[in-house]
């Protein structure tokens, strides 16, 4: 997005203080209105994910049409992906927790893409062996969130390429260099792998339709920064005879150091809680985390703190509060000055430890499943 806005949001760069309303206008996405949220709650049997109630997800493309089809008996599938450039951190889990929740309520298939090829192309220092290794580790972390064993599929790019490639050929034929240059801001020095890559990222959007010969709608929960990727997919969908993927966009999460986003400032390990951090590292990072607190205790007791800019509040918001009641309590006490930052940090430390410990156990139960899930069959159409 244009620099004149004072912020930049592309799939490869997020910079500046993002004005989310303006970003929605610029991207042309639709507001996730109270009416849509009510409809989702109803369809989900009266429950609604905290990621939806708390505004972590805030815009969409074509969600109501997708829900219409679902109600008429055409279920959609979920698609999300991970570029395995290193260990996951807690913010990476947000998209997948959104998917898990939707899958658990709507009983729909989930497709996870592990883009080990892309990360070789996008990160000069990473080798194929390294991204493949991280790919397996990341996949185990994601599956440990609790996806439906009978309804989850994995594209692991270098391992699933035989199944994906024929469709990627059809997709790539319809995307020009000038399109990817404009969307991703590629330079002449960009390698030809990265230029090609968006074709492979589009494959899962259409794969179930291609394989079954029926029109299978796709829903992609993703960070708003990934919207341009899938605009390309949406633009070519009709020409290939497949439905346009619907999108559900989250805001970017602030890093522990107060950066605007965790995922694009990943060079500082202290900016996020990585799933392979030790308990001592977690404690240290949380102790040093940027908050919305005041300069002195006295001032904070008097004026209250500002959760909106606080990296710890973002953690409560995206999953570490045990329920809406606790989240509202924390938020209220933060604003009023009743809850000081030190106390708040101590409380969340124990929540993070217990999440990490449960997660570690869950990983062991899915490790062998991970390898089984990787789609390796050849496409019948070849």
Total residues interacting with its own copies, rule: CB under 8 A: 39
Choose the binding region for its own copies from 160-168, 220-228, 239-247, 355-363 (rule: CB under 8 A): 160-168
Report in angstroms how near the CB of residue 200 gets to its own copies at its nearest.
Answer: 10
Structure tokens at 41: 């709650």
φ, ψ for residue 119, nearest 5 deg: -70, -25
Residue with the two structure tokens 């209105």: 33
| Residue 175 contacts its own copies per CB under 8 A | yes
| Residue 198 contacts its own copies per CB under 8 A | yes
Report in angstroms how near the CB of residue 186 gets to its own copies at its nearest.
Answer: 7
State the binding string over 124-143 for its own copies (x if CB under 8 A, else -): ----xx--x-----------
Task: Please tell me whether residue 132 adopts helix, strand or coil conformation.
Answer: helix
| Residue 178 contacts its own copies per CB under 8 A | yes
Strand ranges in 17-172 using DSSP code E only, listed in sequence order: 30-31, 57-61, 77-82, 110-114, 152-156
Choose the binding region for its own copies from 38-46, 183-191, 291-299, 360-368 (rule: CB under 8 A): 183-191
**Cβ-proximal residues to 333 (8 Å cutoff; 6+ apart), any chain:** 339
| Residue 169 contacts its own copies per CB under 8 A | yes
Q: Are 308 and 292 in contact (CB under 8 A)?
A: yes
Rounded CA separation 39/155 (Å): 31
**Cβ-proximal residues to 382 (8 Å cutoff; 6+ apart), any chain:** 166
Using the rule CB under 8 A, which residue among 20, 70, 196, 290 binds its own copies? 196
| Residue 189 contacts its own copies per CB under 8 A | yes
Report in angstroms how near the CB of residue 367 gets to its own copies at its nearest.
Answer: 18
Report in angstroms how near the CB of residue 10 gets to its own copies at its nearest.
Answer: 17
Using the rule CB under 8 A, which residue among 7, 79, 85, 117 binds its own copies? 117
272-331: which residues touch its own copies (CB under 8 A)? Answer: none
Report in angstroms how near the CB of residue 378 gets to its own copies at its nearest.
Answer: 8
Task: Please tell me whether residue 77 adopts helix, strand or coil conformation.
Answer: strand
Rounded CA separation 203/208 (Å): 9
Rounded CA separation 345/351 (Å): 10
| Residue 370 contacts its own copies per CB under 8 A | no
Residue with the two structure tokens 């006295």: 298
Structure tokens at 184: 């991703």
- DSSP H or E run through 218: strand 218-223
Using the rule CB under 8 A, which residue among 87, 166, 185, 258 binds its own copies? 166
Using the rule CB under 8 A, which residue among 60, 82, 89, 159 binds its own copies? 159
Nearer of residues 58 and 121 to its own copies, judged by Cβ = 121
Sign of CA dihedral 104, 107, 108, 109: positive
In the sheet with 246-250, reading across from the earlier edge strand, the strands are 30-31, 57-61, 246-250, 218-223, 77-82, 110-114, 152-156
| Residue 170 contacts its own copies per CB under 8 A | yes
Choose the binding region for its own copies from 165-173, 261-269, 307-315, 359-367 (rule: CB under 8 A): 165-173
Rounded CA separation 16/12 (Å): 14
Report in angstroms how near the CB of residue 77 gets to its own copies at its nearest.
Answer: 23
With CA atoms as reference, report the closest residue to 231 among 180, 271, 307: 180
Q: Are 24 and 57 in contact (CB under 8 A)?
A: no
| Residue 215 contacts its own copies per CB under 8 A | no
Nearer of residues 142 and 163 to its own copies, judged by Cβ = 163
**Cβ-proximal residues to 198 (8 Å cutoff; 6+ apart), any chain:** 175, 180, 183, 184, 229, 232, 233
| Residue 173 contacts its own copies per CB under 8 A | yes
Nearer of residues 174 and 335 to its own copies, judged by Cβ = 174
Using the rule CB under 8 A, which residue among 190, 265, 306, 349 binds its own copies? 190
Q: Which residues bind its own copies (CB under 8 A)?
A: 117, 120-121, 128-129, 132, 158-159, 161-162, 165-166, 169-170, 172-178, 180-181, 186-193, 195-196, 198-199, 376, 378, 381-382
């Amino acid at each position: 997005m244009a620099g004149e806005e004072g912020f930049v949001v592309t799939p490869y760069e997020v910079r500046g203080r993002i004005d989310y309303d303006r970003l929605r206008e610029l991207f042309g996405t639709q507001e996730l209105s109270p009416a849509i949220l009510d409809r989702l709650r109803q369809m989900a049997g009266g429950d609604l994910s905290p990621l939806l109630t708390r505004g972590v997800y805030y815009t969409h493309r074509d969600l109501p049409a997708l829900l219409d089809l679902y109600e008429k008996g055409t279920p959609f599938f979920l698609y999300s992906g991970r570029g395995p450039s290193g260990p996951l951190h807690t913010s990476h889990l947000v998209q997948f927790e959104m998917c898990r929740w939707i899958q658990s309520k709507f009983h729909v298939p989930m497709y996870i893409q592990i883009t080990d090829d892309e990360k070789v192309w996008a990160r000069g220092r990473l080798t194929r062996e390294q991204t493949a290794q991280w790919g397996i580790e990341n996949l185990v972390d994601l599956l440990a969130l609790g996806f439906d064993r009978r309804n989850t599929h994995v594209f692991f790019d270098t391992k699933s390429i035989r199944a994906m490639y024929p469709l990627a050929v059809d997709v790539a034929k319809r995307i020009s260099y000038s399109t990817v240059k404009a969307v991703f801001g590629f330079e002449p020095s960009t390698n030809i792998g990265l230029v090609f890559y968006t074709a492979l990222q589009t494959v899962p959007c259409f794969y179930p339709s291609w394989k079954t010969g029926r029109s299978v709608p796709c829903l992609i929960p993703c960070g708003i920064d990934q919207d341009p990727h899938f605009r390309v997919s949406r633009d070519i969908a009709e020409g290939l005879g497949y439905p346009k993927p619907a999108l559900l966009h989250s805001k970017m999460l602030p890093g522990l150091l107060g950066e605007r986003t965790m995922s694009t400032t990943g060079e500082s390990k202290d900016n996020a809680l990585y799933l392979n951090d030790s308990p001592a590292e977690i404690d240290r990072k949380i102790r040093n985390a940027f908050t919305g607190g005041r300069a002195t205790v006295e001032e904070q007791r008097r004026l209250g703190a500002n959760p909106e800019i606080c990296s710890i509040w973002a953690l409560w918001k995206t999953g570490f509060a045990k329920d809406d009641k606790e989240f509202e309590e924390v938020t209220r006490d933060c604003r009023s000055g009743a809850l000081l930052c030190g106390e708040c940090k101590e409380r969340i430390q124990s929540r993070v430890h217990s999440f990490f410990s449960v997660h570690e156990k869950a990983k062991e139960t899915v490790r062998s499943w991970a390898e089984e899930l990787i789609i390796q069959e050849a496409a019948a159409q070849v």
